[in-house]
Amino acid sequence: MKEKPGNTRLQIRLHRTRPGRGRQAGRRWAAFIMGIWMVLLQFVYTDVPVQAQVEVSAPSAILMEASTGQVLFELNATERRCPASITKIMTLLLTFEQIELGKIGLEDNVITSEYASSMGGSQVFLAQGEIQTLDTMIKCIAVASGNDASVAVAEHIAGSEEAFVALMNEKARQLGMTDTHFEDCCGLTNSDGHYTTARDVALMSRELITKYPQVYNYTQIWMEDITHETRQGTANFTLSSTNKLLKQYPYATGLKTGSTEKAKFCLAATARKDGIDMIAVVMGAPDPKGRFKDAQTLLTYGFNISAMYVDPNTDPLPSLAVERGVAEQVPLAYAGEFRYLDTQGRDLSRVEKVIELPESVQAPVEQGRQAGVAKYTLDGVELGVIPILYGENVARAAYSDYLRKLFRDFLL
């Protein structure tokens, strides 16, 4: 179903002074009754996926909507399993993070070490001493799943694969990937100490595609040539995508395949339809075709039951009165857009938005601090809130500020 832009009925609600005790008691009873009613409505409206409609061959899988992180389906999603080359999702995530920080660039020359060139398994046959740009190395990782390219990039960023793996595990910890531990940067190891889960793979995939959507410039490549330039001469090499969904599923955008004897066949698949991004993770599928079929089943299920409500929050907000400040008012700004994923077929045109703000604020006021909220409800059920922030700093007025104000008012 299509993404639906915000079309809310907007109310602005100011917090008032505290009412008398009698009115408070009456409101407490009303709130109690309303609370029970809200709980009942929440029970009725809870977005619980109807998983009986989905059958997959893999022993572990999950389906997640990327922008909200909402899980629509899961099967043994916290079961620790060998990830094989979907390990490289974390390698790509750290690479784009380092680019954003300005520590590396796409035009960097990445030198292939003897160790990197010795990697077996899936590779692009980089020779010792061969130089490729980081841009090309990312293609080798994202398209052809090159183990040699992954190690070369890891060494370029951290100096050694071991140091890079430490960064991988630290990032996993930051993302809440509680059932993950990496021992290499490419997934070639068969060690029991190298593991993750379908849920954790979805978490790192979400981080990658939402923070660095430029990764799609690489993961959507089906076939592309690179040039090897070594002492032996120059030769072209064709990178071919390992992700067959790019040809099998019209909405596919990525992301990464993986397979070893221990891991069997794995896939983290991303797809976009009608403004909605889905992540389907399949681990331990019994055969290569099965992982693609499972992923397509999950993605199709997700798109069929989903509708996205989006409010970009571009409407103007009122300024807020400031007491005892050097300025009499402070501008306000939304913290961001609001997104809500519905899987129950509800009428999203009935969403209501209420702005809740105090009548005034005491100085000092710090820019970026929360002033209030924009609250979204549907048929009385709260869907979520977006913070409303102070847009500027307002210092507390000193005695001299009051004198200047009096003098200015006198002249006017």
pLDDT band at 39 (very low <50, low <70, confident <90, very high): very low
3-state helix, strand and coil shares in percent for the chain, rounded to the nearest 5:
35, 30, 35
**pLDDT, average across residues 231-243:** 91
Q: What is the pLDDT of residue 405?
A: 58
What pLDDT, in 10s, does the model give residues 53-92? 789 999 999 999 999 999 999 999 999 999 999 999 999 9
In angstroms, the first-to-last Cα distance of the chain is 60
How would DSSP label each residue in 340-393?
EEE-S---GGG-EEEEEEESEEESPB-TTSEEEEEEEEETTEEEEEEEEEE-S-
In the chain, the amino acid numbered 88 is K
Percent of the chain scoring above 70 in pLDDT = 84
Distances (CA, A) of 15 to 187, 211, 371, 373: 55, 36, 11, 11
Cβ–Cβ < 8 Å for 335, 388: yes
> Partners of 21 in the beta sheet?
none
Q: What is the pLDDT of residue 232?
A: 80
How far apart (Å, rounded) are the C-alpha atoms in residues 357 and 330? 13
43 has pLDDT over 90? no
The dihedral over CA atoms of 203, 209, 311, 272, expressed in degrees to the nearest 10, equals -100
370 has pLDDT over 60? yes
Question: Catalytic positions, please?
Answer: 85, 88, 145
Q: What is the pLDDT of residue 25?
A: 45
7 has pLDDT over 50? yes
pLDDT band at 37 (very low <50, low <70, confident <90, very high): very low
How far apart (Å, rounded) are the C-alpha atoms in residues 348 and 1? 12
- With vertex at residue 319, the alpha carbon angle to CA 316 and CA 320, rounded to the nearest 5 degrees, is 140
The label of the residue with tokens 């300005």 reads 102
- Residues constituting the chain: 412
pLDDT band at 1 (very low <50, low <70, confident <90, very high): very low
DSSP secondary structure letter of residue 315: S
pTM of the model: 0.84
Q: What strand order describes the sheet that includes 370-378?
A: 9-15, 352-358, 370-378, 381-390, 332-334
Q: What is the pLDDT of residue 382?
A: 97
What pLDDT, in 10s, does the model give residues 182-228? 999 999 998 999 999 999 999 999 999 999 999 999 999 999 999 99
**pLDDT, average across residues 104-124:** 96
Nearest by Cα to 344 from 317, 305, 315? 305
Q: What is the pLDDT of residue 412?
A: 56
What pLDDT, in 10s, does the model give residues 291-302? 999 999 999 999
The mean pLDDT value of the chain amounts to 88
Q: Which residue has the higher pLDDT, 18 or 78?
A: 78
As given in the structure block, the two tokens for residue 230 are 């070594």
How far apart (Å, rounded) are the C-alpha atoms in residues 348 and 377? 10
Q: Which residue has the higher pLDDT, 398 or 148?
A: 148
Cβ–Cβ < 8 Å for 216, 209: yes
